[in-house]
Amino acid sequence: MAVRRIELARAAWGASLLFAPRWTLESVHRIAVDRKSLLIARVLGARQLTQAVLSGVDPTPEILAMGVWVDLTHAASALGLAAMDRDRAAAGITDTAVAAAWAGFGWHDLRAGSDPAPGHDRRRDSMARWVLAHVPGGEPLSRAAHSRREKGGGMPNFVGELTLANAIARQGVFFLWPDHPTQ
């Protein structure tokens, strides 16, 4: 059983948001804490803990790809928060950086990770494949997972198509312009 150490850090971050949101928001995000920000912090903490559990032990390429998508989407939405709400701009930028870092670690592990142990949960893989097939920007990640599984590692042949910055920008376009022609 291989545990991704980065997911231990994610679990700690999620736990701090879920169980000590006021302290986390005041000391890390440096924002004035109100009821809305406490609720949002707890929801994000629960999401981080859930993702740590789902992708922390022997994740398959599909699970890693899904995690990258979730983290990129989080980064794009946090960047939108920073752009739209001056009072929460610092928190949005911090969240963007954290989510982009998680996505980068996931992308690295997707490219270079080891094969999962036999007997892993194929229902999660199937669900991740379905979701990636139906969300904006999921197709390149799905192809990366397929390439990883088929070739036993290495980069898929569309490296130029999916860089973290490009993926974050594309996700942001989808949120701001839902009928974008590249969908």
Chain segment 144-173, per-residue pLDDT in tens: 988 887 776 444 434 434 444 455 455 544
Compute the distance between CA of residue 74 and CA of residue 178 in angstroms, rounded to an integer.
17
At 112, the pLDDT band (50, 70, 90 cuts) reads confident
Tokens (6 digits) for 118: 């036999």
- Give the global pTM: 0.77
Query: Strand, coil or helix: what is 51?
Result: helix
Compute the distance between CA of residue 124 and CA of residue 84 in angstroms, rounded to an integer.
35
| Amino acid of residue 72 | L
In tens, the pLDDT along 8-66 reads 999 999 999 999 999 988 888 777 788 988 998 999 999 999 999 888 777 889 999 99
Round the average pLDDT of the chain to a whole number and report it: 80
Listed by start position, the domains of the chain span 5-176
Using the 8-state DSSP alphabet, how is residue 115 labeled?
A: P
Look at residue 99 and tell me whether its pLDDT is greater than 90: yes
| Amino acid of residue 137 | G
Compute the distance between CA of residue 2 and CA of residue 59 in angstroms, rounded to an integer.
9
Tokens (6 digits) for 29: 């995000």
At 125, the pLDDT band (50, 70, 90 cuts) reads confident
- pLDDT at residue 77 in the model: 94
Compute the distance between CA of residue 108 and CA of residue 131 in angstroms, rounded to an integer.
21
